[in-house]
Structure 1
Amino acid sequence: MKVKTKTAIVVLAAGEASRMGKPKQLLPWGETTLLEHTIKTALEVNTDEILVVLGAHYNEIKSLIDKYPIQIVFNPDWKSGLGTSISKAIYEIQNGRQEIHAVLIMLADQPFISSNDLNLMIKHFRKSENQIIATIYEGGVKGVPVLFDATYFDDLLALNDDYGAKEIIKRYKAFVDFYNNNSNIADLDTPDEYQSAYQNTFNI
């Protein structure tokens, strides 16, 4: 009988979004916001815990998402980059009430990632095989969402800069599998990218 693996989703939403010129976590996406859309997607996934890491504009964003059944993590070192947010989330997971076997990391500004995408990544996870599952997009771009076996929690905990988990993926590339995503959009970083994506999605 297969033992159920326990997975946590970490949504990274601590950045200031300087290229966007405003908090992109709060940008409209249909009848909600980018961050809320991502949280709702995560809530549809077969997972055991959802953590959302906040930093810049903490009070404003927290008041918006307090209503969701998630754990909100504050990263006071958000200006130092993604790595610190990942580290804070892993610390909370390691000190939580249940044993987590894998963590699936995603960004707040990935509206084209579906719950099906995330469920398929979790479905292909094999506990205790040192597995990493990263996403590959059209054109060969590799990135998040990315799933890490608990074997890598200490490496993730040690992150402290803006390179996120890329160096860990490179270091352990022999253990990396890829999930093919048919989209050519990984995330939204600029006003033009956001406007184009919004207009194409909602036929405006």
Structure 2
Amino acid sequence: MTESLSPPVSGLLLAAGGGRRLGGCPKALLEHRGELFVERAARALREGGCTRVHIVLGATADVVREQATLPDCVLVDNPDWRDGMGSSLRVGLNSLVGTGARAALALLVDQPGIGAPAVARLLAAYRSPATLAAASYDGERGHPVLFGADHWDGIAASATGDQGARAYLREHAAELALVECGDVAAPYDIDTFSDLEGLE
């Protein structure tokens, strides 16, 4: 049984990376069709149904703050962003403690093919703080991922380097609900300039 008609799930956007393979251009500041990646991803979370959105920033966080239009989003700095995505996940989950959020729906800034429809579909999988769910593509686990609050401590303890929650999700595979999103999203990453050109 769901706890309310509007699930207390917060969006968590991981946007701290420095874009090493993009010549040091942070992925948050990449632009497509007049919109920064960080703006696009934040909009996907909001339009998908997340009423609160926390965005973890790292590389050139001050420039992102200056250039991006992110209304009503909570911007969180990760001073250890060079340590990898795991550190950003820890910082982001910690920023949600005490906000009333009972789950976090985590999205990566460098996957512009994932929009509001996939967010909404995953959000519908929320049942309680014990929920653990991930979007899947032809049966393969991908992003976004929904972490019920009961899992946050365990995820934070195991999130190291660029692994994020991967180890935790493997260990808790029996509890993980896969939500097929291949018909509404494409889970490709933008890692190089050729990837970015491929968007067109």
TM-score over 0.5 (shorter chain): yes
The 5 A counterparts of 1:2-17 are 2-4=2-4, 5-17=7-19
Q: Which amino acid aligns with 1:149?
A: G
Other structure's SS at 1:189 match: coil
- In 1, distance between residues paired with 2:186 and 2:55? 25
- In 1, distance between residues paired with 2:126 and 2:70? 30
Deviation at 1:105, TM superposition (A): 0.5
Other structure's SS at 1:10 match: strand
176 and 115 in structure 1: CA distance in 2 versus 1, 3 angstrom threshold: same
Deviation at 1:124, TM superposition (A): 1.8
Q: Which amino acid aligns with 1:18?
A: R
Q: Which amino acid aligns with 1:91?
A: N
The 5 A counterparts of 1:8-157 are 8-21=10-23, 22-65=25-68, 67-96=70-99, 99-128=100-129, 130-138=130-138, 141-157=140-156
Q: Say whether the 8 Å CA contact 1:87–1:160 is kept in structure 2.
A: no
Q: Say whether the 8 Å CA contact 2:114–2:186 is kept in structure 1.
A: no
Using structure 2 for the length normalisation, give the TM-score: 0.89
Other structure's SS at 2:21 match: coil
Deviation at 1:25, TM superposition (A): 1.6
Q: Say whether the 8 Å CA contact 1:44–1:115 is kept in structure 2.
A: yes
- 4+ residue segments displaced more than 6 Å: none
Identity of aligned residues (%): 26
Q: Which runs of 5+ in 2 are unaligned?
A: none
- In 2, distance between residues paired with 1:91 and 1:66? 24
Deviation at 1:157, TM superposition (A): 2.7
Report how many aligned residue pairs link the two structures.
194
Q: Say whether the 8 Å CA contact 1:90–1:156 is kept in structure 2.
A: no
Other structure's SS at 1:19 match: helix
Residue in 2 that maps onto 1:202 = none
Other structure's SS at 1:59 match: helix
Q: Deviations over 1:112-158 (max 9, x none)?
A: 11212111111122114x322112224x5422210011110111332
Deviation at 1:8, TM superposition (A): 0.7
Q: Which amino acid aligns with 1:143?
A: G
Q: Say whether the 8 Å CA contact 2:12–2:105 is kept in structure 1.
A: yes
Other structure's SS at 1:125 match: coil
Residue in 2 that maps onto 1:180 = 180
Q: Deviations over 1:140-177 (max 9, x none)?
A: 54222100111101113323422100011001000111
Q: Which amino acid aligns with 2:35?
A: T
Q: Say whether the 8 Å CA contact 2:15–2:27 is kept in structure 1.
A: no
- In 2, distance between residues paired with 1:51 and 1:32? 19
- In 1, distance between residues paired with 2:191 and 2:179? 22
Q: Which amino acid aligns with 1:6?
A: P
Compute the RMSD of aligned alpha carbons.
1.8
- In 2, distance between residues paired with 1:185 and 1:43? 19
